[in-house]
Amino acid sequence: MNAVLPDGRNLELKPGATAADAAKAIGPGLAKAAIGAIANGELYDLFKPLPDGAEIRILTEKDPEFVQLFRHTLAHVMAQAVRELYAERGFAPEQVKLAIGPVIENGFYYDMDAPEPLREEDLPLIEEKMRRIVAANLPLERFVLPREEALKRYAGIDPYKTELIQDLPEHEELSFYKQGDEQFGFTDLCRGPHVPSTGRIPPHFKLTSLAGAYWRGDSSRPMLQRIYGIAFRTREELEHYLWQQEEAKRRDHRKLGAELELFTISEEVGKGLPLWLPRGSFIRRQMEDYMYHKEQAYGYHYVYTPHIANARLYYTSGHLPYYKDDMYAPIEIEGEEYYLKPMNCPHHHMIYKARPKSYRDLPLRLAEFGTVYRFELSGTLSGLTRARGFTQNDAHIYCSRAQVTEEFIRVIQLFDEVYRDFGISDYWFRLSLPDFENNPEKFGQENDNWRDSIAAIRAALEQTGAKYVEGIGEATFYGPKLDVQIRSVLGKEDTIATNQLDFIVPERFGLEFTNERGEKETPVVIHRAIMGSFDRFFAFYLEHTAGDFPLWLSPIQAVLVPISDRHLAYAEQVAAQMRKNKLRVEIDSRPERMNAKIRDAELQKIPLILVVGDKEAEAGTVNVRERHVKEQRSLEVAALIEEMKARVEARR
């Protein structure tokens, strides 16, 4: 057999040769450094035979693929360590039944059915044993068994491995990986790939948590114990990840929402149905007012639509045939079925159809702060980021095909303006495209609609110079879209908003306009949501700022702290002047010490703390303590008011 190297050279190898054989044939230095290979685009370890004629690239520990190899092996090391722990407690190895142990982002996990529950305090013990196994530099070995022999190996011992083998196709090879020997080792059914020995695993790993997991995700099947671990190439990467996790806990919008009295979720009201408290409601209203004026300036017309609609509307839109599982159960009214609306678009289409349209009416931009309801599984709910009821910053643009590029340019410009005003810079666009080859059921066949739509969006991106990537297979069934990708405090990429092009649904609804030639034509619809939903954007922004809202958004912009009761009268005079200028200020008149009041204001993340005493009352000033600024300032009240108004106006 032969293999093709990256430079195009053929490498002659013996039949059944592995990546280790290929590395050895290239040279002794590479053979020593080799950790695996890429063969025809697939990750191989040094043990698995290469396909004849494969294009290969030998990997070393410098290659990014090394991470996946050692994380996978760490799952096996952890399983071995768990069995050792139970052996010390008097249990036989086969009493720890193993399910699956895959690689995940940043680490690995293993699901297992143990004879007694593990506890959090067991994790350091398991981790210590893992480090001993890594230090022992146990060699790994791959071997293959016939199906009958593999089933016999687990018969009556491990029902999970037995089920996995039975469910595999008859033609699939059943491979096993063994590390160490019978006395001090571990063997597992596994496709691989792995590092050649445990000593090649970097020591920068940590077990993080325990969780329950149903076998194969089915709540009717046994509940297993899952152990999570993280692993990185360097200590710096591990420490950075752990710092990110702590920072994420500190910034978690659910935690901050409770501490800052912004929102709550009540079981009596219902799961996934947030209640906005006064302070949170104020911030959300500020966001809504901001978007209302911003979108009006861009030519949007605001509408209102009901929270429910007749089932017929959602059959026409396609939601009931294709989206029913994500909708609430129907409500029967006078013999007809109604549904809580999952989307605003069908309602907007009916507003478009309310009277005839000509080309002179286009583009028509309809906007709404529309509340929608979707039945999310309770296990997926997460504060404001995943809820069952939320309000979208929604709009639909009805335009001709010739207007698509210009409208997309305007939407991109609006995204840029809004995100700049909110101090968000780490975002980019993803042009989400169809995958006709691998998913024809969803996207159908390539046609002029798809080609023209993609070309129009590309033109808008090129003209604006927007930063973007492409995502094959990420389009909707009705057209390509432009997603706004953003990085969370964890460094994780997420989609926060979208801009979708729709050339299919307008035909379903019979939308039309009269063109310049007097002919009927179907408009194109652009679905866009600059903030996505106010709820989700609020959650992201809360975590992004850690609750340190800018002055223009803060429900309380300043708190006045009188040093003693005799300074209350002056504090009230200052507050009256500030309120007259539409600034939001409160007076802390509690019978507490000044330092305690200042500390409480800091915990509530009030932007400005204004201390007043004898000196300030006599001079007509305030002592200004600004959030995250060490230096204190003394300002005349009038000067402070003008400074605050300027900052609010500039949204700094």
Active site amino acids? 345, 374, 392, 394, 396, 481, 527
Distance from C-alpha of 589 to C-alpha of 492, rounded to nearest angstrom: 43
Distance from C-alpha of 108 to C-alpha of 125, rounded to nearest angstrom: 18
State the DSSP code for 338.
Answer: E
| Neighbour-count burial for 637-650, b at 16+ CB within 10 Å, e otherwise | beebbeebeeebee
Q: How many residues are recorded in the chain? A: 652
Say if strands 364-373 and 301-302 run parallel, antiparallel, or are unpaired.
parallel
Element (H, E) at 141: strand 140-144
Structure token digits, residue 574: 């200052």
Cβ atoms of 407 and 399 within 8 Å: the answer is yes
Cβ atoms of 640 and 624 within 8 Å: the answer is yes
Distance from C-alpha of 11 to C-alpha of 55, rounded to nearest angstrom: 10
Cβ atoms of 538 and 517 within 8 Å: the answer is no
Cβ atoms of 573 and 307 within 8 Å: the answer is no
Alpha helices in 567-636 (DSSP H): 568-580, 594-603, 614-619
Torsions phi, psi of 401, nearest 5?
-60, -35
Q: Kindly give the interhelix angle for 278-297 and 404-421, rounded to the nearest 10 degrees.
A: 140
CA nearest neighbour of 414 among 430, 433, 429, 432: 429
Point out which residues pair with 343 in neighbouring strands.
none
The neighbour count for residue 280, using CB atoms within 10 Å, is 21
The label of the residue with tokens 């013999």 reads 335
Torsions phi, psi of 405, nearest 5?
-60, -45
Torsions phi, psi of 7, nearest 5?
-85, 5
Distance from C-alpha of 341 to C-alpha of 372, rounded to nearest angstrom: 5
Point out which residues pair with 371 in neighbouring strands.
391
As a whole number of Å, the end-to-end CA separation of the chain is 67
- Taking the CA atoms of residue 290, residue 294, residue 297 and residue 300 in that order, the dihedral angle to the nearest 10 degrees is -100
Order of strands, sheet of 558-562, starting from the edge strand that comes earlier in the sequence: 585-587, 558-562, 608-612, 621-626, 633-636
State the DSSP code for 329.
Answer: P
Distance from C-alpha of 31 to C-alpha of 29, rounded to nearest angstrom: 5
Please give the C-alpha separations between residue 500 and each of 457, 505, 527, 529, in angstroms, as whole numbers. Answer: 10, 12, 5, 9
Structure token digits, residue 106: 């940043």
Amino acid at 183: Q
- Collect all residues with Cβ–Cβ distance below 8 Å to 325 and sequence separation of at least 6: 375
